[in-house]
Amino acid sequence: MTAERHVDVLVVGAGPAGLAAAARLALAGVGRVEVLEREQEPGGVPRYCAHGGFGTWTRPLTGPAYAGLLVEAAARAGAVVRTGVTVLDWAVSAPQRGAGNCATSHDGAAADTLAAEHLGLTTIGVRGPETVTARAVVLATGAYERPRAARLVPGTRPAGIHTGGELLQAVHRYRQPIGERVVVVGAEDVSYVAAGTVRAAGAEVVAMVTERPRAAGSVRALDARLRARVPLLTGTAVTEILGHGRLSGVRIRHRDGRSGVLACDTAVFTGDFAAEDGLARRGRIALAAGPGPYTDRPGVFAVGGLRRPGLDVRAATREGAGAAGAVLEWLVSRP
Ligand SMILES: Cc1cc2nc3c(=O)[nH]c(=O)nc-3n(C[C@H](O)[C@H](O)[C@H](O)COP(=O)(O)OP(=O)(O)OC[C@H]3O[C@@H](n4cnc5c(N)ncnc54)[C@H](O)[C@@H]3O)c2cc1C
């Protein structure tokens, strides 16, 4: 049996953007503001970023410390954060509302008929399945680094291949061994974070490899690479994954046609972010291209990495907090 509840604002995703939006809206006194998070802990990506780079120059913070401040601020403001709850799909309220009368949309087909007054989402968590309706919904589901499969890198399917986020979790959260010789694919800020994590775990960074003609990233990150003497191969693509059981190497090709093999037991595909937009797509909801947290569905807003994959954490937090104005405007126009 699916339980039904109603809140005033439902925020999907307790990362920096969602938490900042929830805190600002709860402070504004819009009623019940609830944040749903599929992980067991709130905080989003920063939860497992043990490196610095969060906070400000005058107040540097690690990721978990930064996430902790945002969680605290949201709770202090009166927002309710529920973890271990995955939002699955959009629900459609039947015209005559009664007990158990919410139907789930299939492949977004029914989403077209979603009534703005009763935006509904189906969820699954420790309490079992639920349908939560809301006057406004803020999507703050973040972004993900494209894994090897999405980058269409041919070859075998051995163990030892991660994204940057997976590497950070393996090292900092689960204390898992990651291998000894690591190739980092990418040369943007998150790639340097991955390289630093590899070295902190006691492994060697064989090389950083990027198809770009030069490395991106902050001066601080570039400086750290030089000091650690990590080789950087620019204009170079990973063209094949090698090895059975465990990764044994990656084949690379330089843009001038030269090719070779980098022997390694681990490869980390970093950056190249894409929006975590499955939920928006299930509802056939398009995010507005211009500035502002708008979508083409009245009452549904989008913020943070979902809207701009790859943005830094302070921009995501600012965007979440800034979205509160648009949500408030919507709520006031629909008392
Ligand atoms: C490896 C890595 C290192 C980084 N290092 C830095 C750094 O040093 N400095 C910096 O400024 N930025 C860094 N960033 C970027 C920073 O983490 C992002 O800018 C920020 O996390 C974006 O916040 P967000 O709230 O939009 O998304 P996220 O932090 O991704 O949060 C989204 C949340 O939504 C949840 N969610 C998604 N779908 C659902 C669903 N259907 N139901 C329930 N919950 C859901 C997710 O579990 C997640 O907790 C890094 C990113 C990565 C991947």
Backbone φ, ψ for residue 22 (5° rounding):
-65, -45
Cα(305) to centroid(ligand 1), Å: 7
Structure tokens at 84: 């271990």
> pLDDT tens-digit profile of 293-328?
999 999 999 999 999 999 999 999 999 999 999 999
Taking the CA of residue 190 as reference, the ligand 1 atom at the shortest distance is 3
- Asked whether residue 47 falls in the same domain as residue 159, the answer is no
Residues with CB under 6 A from ligand 1: 12-18, 36-39, 44-46, 49, 51, 53-54, 86-87, 140-142, 145, 164-165, 168, 190, 193, 276, 279, 304-305, 311-314, 316
Q: How many CB atoms lie within 10 A of CB 161?
A: 22
- Asked whether residue 43 falls in the same domain as residue 169, the answer is no
Cα(97) to centroid(ligand 1), Å: 36
> pLDDT tens-digit profile of 6-60?
999 999 999 999 999 999 999 999 999 999 999 999 999 999 888 777 877 788 8
> pLDDT tens-digit profile of 118-151?
699 999 999 899 999 999 999 999 999 999 999 9
Q: What is the mean pLDDT of residues 88-93?
A: 82
> pLDDT tens-digit profile of 161-192?
999 999 999 998 888 989 999 999 999 889 99
- Asked whether residue 37 falls in the same domain as residue 139, the answer is yes
Question: How many domains does the structure of the chain reveal?
Answer: 2
- Asked whether residue 72 falls in the same domain as residue 54, the answer is yes
Cα(309) to centroid(ligand 1), Å: 9
Task: Give 285's pLDDT tier (boundaries 50, 70, 90).
Answer: very high
- Asked whether residue 302 falls in the same domain as residue 263, the answer is no
- Asked whether residue 64 falls in the same domain as residue 29, the answer is yes
Give me the amino acid identity at 294. Answer: Y
Cα(310) to centroid(ligand 1), Å: 9
Question: What was the pLDDT predicted at 228?
Answer: 73
The mean pLDDT value of the chain amounts to: 89
The CATH number assigned to the domain holding 110 equals 3.50.50.60
Residues 6+ apart with CB under 8 A from 261: 242, 249, 250, 251, 252
Q: Which of 93, 97, 70 is nearest to 11 (CA)?
A: 70
> pLDDT tens-digit profile of 265-284?
999 999 999 999 999 999 99
- Asked whether residue 182 falls in the same domain as residue 260, the answer is yes
DSSP string, 264-285: -SEEEE---EEE--HHHHHTTP
Tell me: pLDDT of 99 over 70: no
Tell me: pLDDT of 108 over 50: no
- Asked whether residue 17 falls in the same domain as residue 86, the answer is yes
56: domain range? Answer: 3-143+274-333
Q: What is the pTM of this model?
A: 0.90
Query: Ligand 1, atom 16: nearest CA belongs to which residue?
Result: 313
More confident residue, 302 or 115: 302
Ligand 1 mutation pick, 137, 141, 189, 317, max ligand atoms within 8 A of CB = 141
Question: What was the pLDDT predicted at 224?
Answer: 67
